Amino acid sequence: MIMTRRRVIEAGGGILAALLPWPAAGAAADAVEITMLGKANGSHVWFDPFGIHVEPGQTIRWTNRDPGNSHTVTAYHPAIFERPLRIPVGAKPWDSDYLLPGESFSVMLTTAGVYDYYCVPHEHAGMVGRIVVGSPPAVEAVSGTAEPGLTPLPDVALSGFPSIEEIVANGAVHRR
Ligand SMILES: [Cu+2]
């Protein structure tokens, strides 16, 4: 069931891409790559880079390069597991479901703003990431304050995001 849903999403993306004029206006031709990594003993898991700066229309592709763990890439959004909103208002949230080692998942981000995401099984290990789409002052982190009925972020996740300033200054932020 889980596998089926992810494959439908990927197939849908492929059909959409096929229907768009190529190259799409303003869109970069290649996906920006983010890897999902982990220590062999599972003691540490992370996204690399875990902060990245792109322009609207960029496709991001996450690939699980961790041979020992399955991971997800999941947007913080009330519509997905009732989490606080930490992507731009009106932007489409996503959930990759579990990616086995070697599997990938892609999204195209068209709305400027700040997108925070996490790995479902490893949020409590601090496995989170941030994408800045576009440039300040047009972008601003969503406060993501806890609202009734939404599950707040654990402290280890809240403290795990690189700052917008660091991301924009460096283009990409890697695990320190
Ligand atoms: Cu994970």
Say if residue 108's pLDDT is above 70: yes
Say if residue 151's pLDDT is above 90: yes
How far from each other are the two terminal CA atoms of the chain, in whole angstroms? 37
**Does residue 56 have a cis peptide bond before it, meaning omega lies within 30 degrees of 0?**
no
Q: How far is the CA of 121 from the centre of ligand 1 (A)?
A: 6
28 Cβ contact list (under 8 Å, min separation 6): 54, 55, 57, 58, 59
DSSP state of 2: H
Q: How far is the CA of 119 from the centre of ligand 1 (A)?
A: 5
What share of the chain has pLDDT > 90, as a percent? 70
Pairing of strands 51-54, 74-75: unpaired
Are 18 and 97 within 8 A, CB to CB? no
DSSP state of 22: S
Pairing of strands 74-75, 113-118: antiparallel
Phi-psi domain of 153 (left: phi exceeds 0; alpha: psi -120 through 50; beta: other)? beta
Q: How far is the CA of 137 from the centre of ligand 1 (A)?
A: 32
| 120 Cα distance to chain centroid | 12
Q: Which fold has domain 24-173?
A: Immunoglobulin-like (2.60.40)
Show me where the domains of the chain are located: 24-173
Are 48 and 33 within 8 A, CB to CB? no
Q: How far is the CA of 117 from the centre of ligand 1 (A)?
A: 11
User: What average pLDDT does the structure give for the chain?
Assistant: 85
pLDDT band for 29, please (50, 70, 90 cuts): low
What integer is the mean pLDDT of 106-122?
96
Q: How far is the CA of 57 from the centre of ligand 1 (A)?
A: 26
* Amino acid 145: pLDDT: 67
